[in-house]
Amino acid sequence: MSRSDLFTPLQLGPLALPNRIFMAPLTRCRASEGHVPNELNAEYYTQRASAGLIISEATSVSPSGYGYPSTPGIHTADQVAGWKKVTDAVHSKGGHIFLQLWHVGRISHPSYQQDGALPVAPSAIKPKGQVFTGASMEEYVTPRALETAEIPGIIAEYVHGAELAKQAGFDGVEIHNANGYLLDQFLRTGTNQRGDLYGGSVANRARLTLEVTEAVSGVWGADRVGIRFSPAGIFNDMHDDNPLETFGHVLRELNRFGLAYAHITQVTAQDIAHGAAEGVGPKELRSAWNGKIVSAGGFTLESGNAAIAEGWADAIAFGVPFIANPDLPERFRRKAPLNTADESTFYSPGGKGYTDYPMLNS
């Protein structure tokens, strides 16, 4: 049997994907007023439809779930209509696209909240750092700890977002349980100091992740649901006392659902330079997870092929390379030079640095 690589087709639940070169979720801050996706967003994603799977930018399931300017949502009819333009355009090019369901939790600011309310979190622990309010940089505030009775409402927001994603024509959804946002905050010891059924033991800290996953799978069918984790990540002032135990536990518990994939980031040299530790990533967690693994984190063509050949990843999600190279799979296939990404335009408005990167032979 021949060894698999990035160009080997992949069966992901009911989807027959042409390659294993996924587009990672990438916040670009270019939604229209009301957090509504627009024609420019549709053009951007359609340019990248040759990815085996596009995972959309993080998309808020709730009015309280925002923490960045001009990011999209999935809780209103206008947002559904906007996303439908995107999915129709991607499908017209033969592409596949999942929506990433998101709630930022404490990584927000009263300026993003209705009536200037405090952001919500598992515990009232202020994150280090600053948030851009759209006008200036401000210190994060101490969030409000969610009451136990409020948690079913949070789960309902994810369900509503999943239902609207189906109406918008997506092929599935990815639950954002990474990078220091709400579900990750519940999972890790550094942000969860609760004394109820959602805090304390690893089983309790994992409870909300499992309940959201079960509820979202009830909307889509588990084979169209992925979930993302960043077990070694420290972004947004995150840490865990025993990440191998924490993430190993939640992955073993998730096995019963039969999800499409677990998206597990690997630590990068940049992460390590900022204090992250090696030793807990897709390689180390492979034995805890029975399903397919998508990994992300500084991969190249060569290292992506190696990860798949070695069996600890089934697909690789590329971020910055897809920003600058809309035709990344073809460039990889030809071993062609890659465009260099312009970091100054990652989060700026308009088409510059968004839809104007050249394709091969253009």
Where in the sequence numbering do the catalytic residues fall? 181
Contact 75, 160 (CB under 8 A): yes
The owner of tokens 């977002």 is: 161
The owner of tokens 């990035």 is: 6
Contact 315, 323 (CB under 8 A): no
Say how far apart CA 17 and CA 5 lie, in whole Å. Answer: 13
Dihedral over Cα of 283, 13, 301, 353: its sign:
negative
Residues 6+ apart with CB under 8 A from 337: 331
